[in-house]
């Protein structure tokens, strides 16, 4: 069975600082991994996905994530935070045509 | 990616009543899913809506409480029956697998925000 753990339910960074959101997964098969973002009062938007191609995946809005099999991790990063990045971020793993989500990380950007 | 709409976008309902949520996609898809997001929580899969057959429910969710229809490849409904305040959540529809080009990614609708008094 697949599972996802997001470390830190709340991350706060200053505008212009590095954003790092942590995600560790458990999967009995090579995983498909996703990061989604949820802005206030909106649905989920796909940021990026890993599907066994390149281990460094680039997404929208300057985000990227690196798949590290040895660490079972898929952390999300952005070099320079912007105020508009404030949102809830969800890591998810796909298995048997189902998505299993982590608990989410709320990102706050300080001016 | 597919454009997904949900109706209503939000509603306030009385205890004991039922609400039907619609999900419409602008292209044919093979898979449609319904999720619940309780306040401040992550997403939990309710069921997979199967076209032309009964939905497949996850543990803890039953058809009598959450009946689902999927009459074609672009439309599905979720009904929340005999509502109680514990049903207050965001309900999200998602889709995967385009026709004829298959994709392995789920895309989400904007959600329906339900408050039960």
CB contact under 8 A, A46 and B45: no
Dihedral sign, Cα of residue A12, residue B43, residue B78, residue B117: negative
Instruction: Identify the pLDDT of residue B56.
Output: 94
Q: Is the pLDDT of residue B102 over 70?
A: no
**What percentage of residues in chain A have a pLDDT greater than 70?**
100
Q: Is the pLDDT of residue B99 over 70?
A: no
- Residue B84 to residues B16, B19, B81, B87, B102: CA-CA distances in angstroms? 6, 12, 9, 6, 38
- Helix, strand, coil in percent for chain A, rounding step 5: 5, 60, 35
Q: Is the pLDDT of residue B70 over 70?
A: yes
Residues of chain A with Cβ-Cβ distance to B104 below 8 Å are 32, 51, 94
pLDDT of A52-62, one tens digit each?
778 899 999 99
Instruction: Identify the pLDDT of residue B109.
Output: 95
The alpha carbon of residue A71 is apart from the nearest alpha carbon of chain B, in Å, by 24
- Choose the mutation target among A33, A44, A49 for the interface with B, i.e. most B CBs under 10 Å: A44
Contacts with B, A 73-92, CB within 8 Å: 90
Confidence band, pLDDT 50/70/90 cuts, at residue B98: low
| Token pair recorded at residue A110 | 């300080």
B99 DSSP 8-state letter: S
- Contact between A89 and A104 (Cβ < 8 Å): yes
CB contact under 8 A, B43 and A44: yes
The alpha carbon of residue A105 is apart from the nearest alpha carbon of chain B, in Å, by 10
- Helix, strand, coil in percent for chain B, rounding step 5: 5, 50, 45
Q: Is the pLDDT of residue B17 over 90?
A: yes
Smallest Cβ–Cβ distance between B104 and the set A32, A44, A98 belongs to A32
Give the residue from A41, A99, A98 showing the smallest Cα distance to B90.
A41
- Residue A87 to residues A17, A20, A23, A75, A84: CA-CA distances in angstroms? 16, 14, 16, 16, 8
Smallest Cβ–Cβ distance between A103 and the set B42, B96, B113 belongs to B42
């Amino acid at each position: 069975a697949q599972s996802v753990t997001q470390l830190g339910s709340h991350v706060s960074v200053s505008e212009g600082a590095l954003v790092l959101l942590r995600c560790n997964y458990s999967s009995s098969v090579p995983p498909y991994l996703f990061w989604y973002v949820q802005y206030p009062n909106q649905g989920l938007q796909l940021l990026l996905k890993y599907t066994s191609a390149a281990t460094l995946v680039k997404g929208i809005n300057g985000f990227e994530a690196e798949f590290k099999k040895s660490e079972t991790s898929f952390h999300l990063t952005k070099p320079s935070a912007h105020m508009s990045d404030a949102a809830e971020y969800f890591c998810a793993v796909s298995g048997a045509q189902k998505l299993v989500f982590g608990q989410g990380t709320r990102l706050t950007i300080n001016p | 990616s597919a454009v997904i709409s949900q109706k209503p976008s939000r509603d306030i309902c009385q205890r004991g009543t039922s609400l039907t949520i619609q999900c419409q996609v602008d292209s044919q898809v093979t898979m449609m899913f319904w999720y619940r997001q309780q306040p401040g929580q992550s997403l939990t899969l309710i069921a997979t809506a199967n076209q032309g057959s009964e939905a497949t429910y996850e543990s803890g969710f039953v058809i009598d409480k959450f009946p689902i229809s999927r009459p074609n490849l672009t439309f599905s409904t979720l009904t929340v029956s005999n509502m109680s305040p514990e049903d207050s959540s965001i309900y999200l529809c998602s889709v995967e697998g385009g026709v004829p080009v298959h994709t392995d990614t789920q895309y989400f609708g904007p959600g329906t925000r339900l408050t039960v008094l």
